[in-house]
């Protein structure tokens, strides 16, 4: 109905022009009055002698829609307006136009169901693993799911701008062949609840029928980090194994003005990349599992970074091509007066090597190294590097490596790092790059 009103307006306009009595001389038109907005409908009083009306809708100083119509009722729900809208209307007759009338109104948005595909929120894309975490399957939601969540600390991170603070139902669609399994749910770095995966569905293969697990989570208004990851200890096999397809957050159906969220920005200012969520890189065939301790960020750190090319690989999706800074929380206890820690950062748009046990081929990549770091008071105490390295991320997929290099000369720079552990990295957005 909505679009058709506007089209009919043009047809009606022609017929009115044809019927106009030329003996009446029109010299001016009154301004439009009595504009109202209710339930998606704009109405205003008809102006005497008007052929039609010039209308426009503006949001944040951008014209969203403009048209010429004959009707005095407009169904605006089809235009896709959100937020505080400025409506401008003037009556016209031939080349005579009335003064413009202006009216502001709010189009509220419902906080309904929000779906998150697990595969879109991987920090551990899995190229450091023998088998990728990203699994294609046409029967999965969005054609893919997350598998290979094998070690404590691994899982999915979701950065979400919540329009409301509150407690909401949160569903996980999973598969498992080893029920019962579980994943913990942490919000903004604090434990909140646990998904219990109790239904035996089998692994995702020729058939794929995920089951649903339900929890409630409490969010703040603004940016939230929702972490779903494997936790536990060896006594429960770190919570057994499950694969994740997608999540549904059930909003409370209340309404809000999208303009109230502008103050939070298009994306978080700082992303925390947990080391244990990244794909561990470890020379040799042995994994370097996360080390658990309540004092660590998100409960885990990644230890055993001892040989050249050991470290962490994060897969990070940047919304734009942009400049970021990165600093890392590291620990390094003094063994025997050997080399000081000096983690190196490499950014690429492709995985450097397919398996954790292979050496990285780093020739040709820009290597930046945190220099002059001190030992921490012991291995369990982490500190942020006081340096921040500047990196450029391309729009879309990026791989960020934080690795130990020894005796490597690259572009005239010799890197020779001692052992270290990683808790997390701060990735701070600076500005877009054209």
Q: Which residues bind Ca ion (CB under 5 A)?
A: 117, 140-142, 145, 245-246, 274, 296-298, 300, 423-424
Tokens of 294: 């309540």
Question: Considering beta carbons, is residue 208 or 429 the nearer one to Ca ion?
Answer: 208
Nearer to Ca ion by C-beta: 44 or 174?
174
Q: What is the smallest separation between the CB atom of 297 and Ca ion, expressed in angstroms?
A: 4
User: Smaller CB distance to Ca ion: residue 76 or 312?
Assistant: 312
What whole-number distance in Å separates Cα of residue 281 and Cα of residue 304? 10
Q: In sequence order, what are the beta bridge partners of 16? A: none
Q: Cβ of residue 425: shortest distance to Ca ion, in angstroms?
A: 10
Which run of H or E residues covers position 38?
A: strand 36-38
Which lies closer to Ca ion via its Cβ, residue 296 or residue 324? Answer: 296
Q: Toward Ca ion, which CB reaches closer, 145 or 419?
A: 145
Secondary structure letter of residue 15 according to DSSP: H
β-pairing verdict for 255-256 and 134-136: unpaired
Cβ atoms of residues 46 and 76 within 8 Å:
no
The least distance separating Ca ion from the CB of residue 217, rounded to whole angstroms, comes to: 19
Q: Indicate the residue among 86 and 297 with the shorter CB distance to Ca ion.
A: 297
Asked whether 341 and 373 are in contact (CB, 8 A), the reply is yes
Comparison of 327 and 423: residue with beta carbon closer to Ca ion: 423
Distance of CA 8 to the CA centre of its chain: 42
The distance of closest approach from Cβ of residue 88 to Ca ion in the complex, given in angstroms and rounded to an integer, is 44
Cis check: omega of the bond before 213, within 30 degrees of 0? no
In the complex, what is the shortest distance from the CB of residue 375 to Ca ion, in angstroms, rounded to a whole number?
Answer: 20
Task: Give, for 11, the enclosing helix (H) or strand (E).
Answer: helix 2-19
* Shorter beta-carbon distance to Ca ion: residue 248 or 430: 248
Shortest Cβ 95–Ca ion spacing (Å):
57
Parallel, antiparallel, or unpaired: how do β-strands 222-229 and 73-75 relate?
Answer: unpaired
DSSP states of 126-140: STTSSS-SEEE-TTS
Distance in Å, CB of 271 to Ca ion, minimum: 13
Closer residue to Ca ion, CB minimum distance, 138 or 407: 138
Cβ proximity of 395 and 321 under 8 Å: yes
CB 250, min distance to Ca ion, A: 18
Dist. CA 122–CA 144, nearest whole Å: 12
Query: Cα dist. 221→82, 216, 254, 256, 269 in Å?
Result: 18, 16, 13, 11, 15
Q: Considering the complex, what minimum distance in angstroms separates the CB of residue 208 from Ca ion?
A: 10
CA distances to 65, 118, 141, 257 from 85, in Å = 11, 35, 36, 11
Of 133, 186, 131, 179, the residue nearest 157 (C-alpha): 186
Cβ 411 to Ca ion, closest distance in Å? 31
CB of 118 to Ca ion, least distance (A): 6
Q: State the nearest-atom distance from the C-beta of 299 to Ca ion, in Å.
A: 7
Q: Who contacts 255 (Cβ-Cβ below 8 Å, separation ≥6)?
A: 108, 109, 110, 111
Nearer to Ca ion, 246 or 399 (CB): 246
Alpha carbon distance 341, 360 (integer Å): 19
Integer Cα distance of 245 and 175 in angstroms: 8
**Both tokens assigned to 131:** 């088998």
In the three-class reduction of DSSP (H, G, I as helix; E, B as strand; rest coil), residue 416 is classed as: coil
| 429 close to 390: Cβ distance less than 8 angstroms | no
Q: Measured from the CB atom, is 181 or 261 closer to Ca ion?
A: 181
Q: Quick one: 51 or 423, whose CB is closer to Ca ion?
A: 423
């Amino acid at each position: 109905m909505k679009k058709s009103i506007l089209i009919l307006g043009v047809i009606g306009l022609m017929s009115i022009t044809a019927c106009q009595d030329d003996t009446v001389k029109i010299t001016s038109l009154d301004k439009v009055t009595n504009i109202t907005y209710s339930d998606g409908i704009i109405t205003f009083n008809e102006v005497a002698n008007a052929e039609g009306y010039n209308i426009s809708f503006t949001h944040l100083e951008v014209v969203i829609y403009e048209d010429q119509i004959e009707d005095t009722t407009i169904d605006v729900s089809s235009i896709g307006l959100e937020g505080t809208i400025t409506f401008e209307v003037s009556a016209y007759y031939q080349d005579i136009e009335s003064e413009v009338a202006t009216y502001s109104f709010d189009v509220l948005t419902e906080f309904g169901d929000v779906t998150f595909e697990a595969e879109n929120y991987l920090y551990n894309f899995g190229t450091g693993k023998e088998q990728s975490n990203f699994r294609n399957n046409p029967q999965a939601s969005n054609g893919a799911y997350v598998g290979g969540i094998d070690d404590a600390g691994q899982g999915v991170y979701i950065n979400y701008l919540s329009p409301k603070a509150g407690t909401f139902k949160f569903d996980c669609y999973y598969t498992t062949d080893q029920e019962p399994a579980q994943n913990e749910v942490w919000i903004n770095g604090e434990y909140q609840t646990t998904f219990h995966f109790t239904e035996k569905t089998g692994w995702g293969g020729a058939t794929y029928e995920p089951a649903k697990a339900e929890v409630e989570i409490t969010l703040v208004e603004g940016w939230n980090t929702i972490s779903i990851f494997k936790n536990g200890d060896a006594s429960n096999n770190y919570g057994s194994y499950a694969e994740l397809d997608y999540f549904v957050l059930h909003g409370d159906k209340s309404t809000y003005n999208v303009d109230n969220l502008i103050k939070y920005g298009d994306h978080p200012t700082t992303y925390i990349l947990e080391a244990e969520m990244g794909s561990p890189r470890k020379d040799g065939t042995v994994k370097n599992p996360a080390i658990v301790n309540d004092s660590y960020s998100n409960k885990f750190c990644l230890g055993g970074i001892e040989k050249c090319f050991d470290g962490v690989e994060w897969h990070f999706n940047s919304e734009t091509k942009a400049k970021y800074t990165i600093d890392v929380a590291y620990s390094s206890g003094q063994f025997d007066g050997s080399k000081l820690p000096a983690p190196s950062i490499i950014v690429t748009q492709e995985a450097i090597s397919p398996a954790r046990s292979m050496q990285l081929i780093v020739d040709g990549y820009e290597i930046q190294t945190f220099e002059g770091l001190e030992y921490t008071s012991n291995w369990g105490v982490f500190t942020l590097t006081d340096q921040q390295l500047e990196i450029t991320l391309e729009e879309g997929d990026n791989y960020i490596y934080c690795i130990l290099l020894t005796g490597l000369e690259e572009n005239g720079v010799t890197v020779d790092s001692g052992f270290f552990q990683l808790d997390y990295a701060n990735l701070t957005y600076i500005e877009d790059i054209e």
